[in-house]
Amino acid sequence: MNAPIKEVLDLLDLEAIEVNIFRGTSPSDRWQRVFGGQVLGQALVAATRTVEDRIAHSLHAYFIRPGDPRVPILYEVDRARDGKSFTTRRVVAIQHGEQIFNMAVSFQVAEQGLEHQIKMPVVPPPEDLESETERRKRLAVQLPEEQRHWFTKPRPIELRPVEDDDRDVLNPAKRPPFQHVWIKATGEIPSALSLHQCVLAYASDMTLLDTCLLPHGISWFSGRLQSASLDHAMWFHHAFRADEWLLYAQDSPSASGGRGFNRGSIFTRDGKLVASVAQEGLIRVREQPKS
């Protein structure tokens, strides 16, 4: 199995230390704060481990404090309700005796009903786009030497942006707040749908916050941006595989008050809408660093 995706699967394999209490770790190469998608995925794993014969259909989460990658994260699950059709769980992530994150998850038994969906945008297939490895190597020459190693290291999720216009990485041109990205785990994942949901939750925090920056021409590498995920909601509509190509169609309807609001629709290659995402993130702009 590809090493980076194996590392993610290992991160999602939480240790059960007591009834309703699980422990997760972070990659050793994280040095500032825990990646938000990691906490989303691990919290969903914790909730799923307390449910039988039902599948998650929605989650709503808040990022409260930055996670410390140097110490484990404890996930406490509150079994809020077990109904005939729906099951509700509340997950709290704790470090240093304080909440860093909380999430509500709803599960449902399999059920048939009315169906409709929006159409998938018409975009080039992933095979017609440059691989992420090639793209990052090409763009890395624009970055300072100390950032190139991180930028070009292998990733557990491959991202192939459709609107890759070779813009300046450090000083991107302003453009409308829309983007489409093909995403796929870089190795095969065991077949359980619940695990694919957890991997997609992990991946859903990638690129989404970028969308609200597109109209403003601000780069993550500029040193001017203070950013963080504030909340994250996700709805699962149909079964899918996270190790097959999925189209992540994203837009940002609004930015105000130092926050950017972003939405995402995730489609299979054959056009089935399998998940929807919404997120608000902090986007504070600092003064230009003095040279």
Instruction: Report helix, strand or coil for 117.
Output: coil
Radius of gyration of the chain (CA): 19
What is the tens place of the pLDDT at every residue in 8-47? 999 999 999 999 999 999 987 755 689 999 999 999 999 9
Place of tokens 């939750």: 201
> Confidence class of residue 269 from pLDDT cuts 50, 70 and 90?
very high
> Confidence class of residue 155 from pLDDT cuts 50, 70 and 90?
confident
Residue 288: pLDDT over 90: no
What is the tens place of the pLDDT at every residue in 124-147? 999 999 888 777 777 777 777 766
Query: What six digits make up the tokens of 252?
Result: 């940002």
Count of alpha carbons within 13 Å of 102, Cβ hemisphere only? 9
Helices (DSSP H) in the chain: which residue ranges? 3-12, 36-48, 132-140, 145-152, 193-204
Residue 111: pLDDT over 70: yes
On average, the pLDDT of the chain sits at 91
Choice between 274 and 171, residue whose per-residue pLDDT is larger: 274
User: What pLDDT is attached to residue 14?
Assistant: 98
8 near 158, Cβ under 8 Å? no
231 is catalytic: no
Q: How far apart (Å, rounded) are the C-alpha atoms in residues 146 and 40?
A: 29
Residue 187: pLDDT over 80: yes
Query: What six digits make up the tokens of 256?
Result: 């105000």
Q: Which of 42, 227, 252, 279 is catalytic?
A: 279
Mean pLDDT computed over 54-77: 97
Q: Which of 95, 106, 179, 205 is catalytic?
A: 205
49 near 42, Cβ under 8 Å? no
What is the model's pTM?
Answer: 0.92
275 near 200, Cβ under 8 Å? yes
> Confidence class of residue 65 from pLDDT cuts 50, 70 and 90?
very high
Q: Which of 229, 250, 252, 265 is catalytic?
A: 229
219 is catalytic: no
Q: Which of 239, 141, 126, 231 is nearest to 186 (CA)?
A: 126
Q: Which residues of 222-239 are buried (b: 16+ CB within 10 A; e: fewer)?
A: beebebebbbbbbbbbee
User: What pLDDT is attached to residue 137?
Assistant: 77
User: What pLDDT is attached to residue 260?
Assistant: 97
205 is catalytic: yes
Choice between 156 and 224, residue whose per-residue pLDDT is larger: 156
> Confidence class of residue 165 from pLDDT cuts 50, 70 and 90?
low
Choice between 56 and 2, residue whose per-residue pLDDT is larger: 56
User: What pLDDT is attached to residue 2?
Assistant: 65
Asked whether the CA dihedral 45, 200, 7, 244 is positive or negative, the reply is positive
**Order of strands across the sheet that contains 259-268:** 15-18, 21-24, 73-82, 86-95, 98-108, 55-63, 225-236, 273-285, 259-268, 246-256, 178-185, 157-161
Architecture per CATH, 3-111+130-285: Beta Barrel (2.40)
Sorted by where each begins, the domain ranges of the chain are 3-111+130-285
Mean pLDDT computed over 150-168: 80
What residues form DSSP beta bridges with 249?
180, 265
User: What pLDDT is attached to residue 146?
Assistant: 67
Q: Which of 45, 101, 46 is nearest to 77 (CA)?
A: 46
User: What pLDDT is attached to residue 173?
Assistant: 85
Mean pLDDT computed over 150-172: 79
User: What pLDDT is attached to residue 235?
Assistant: 98
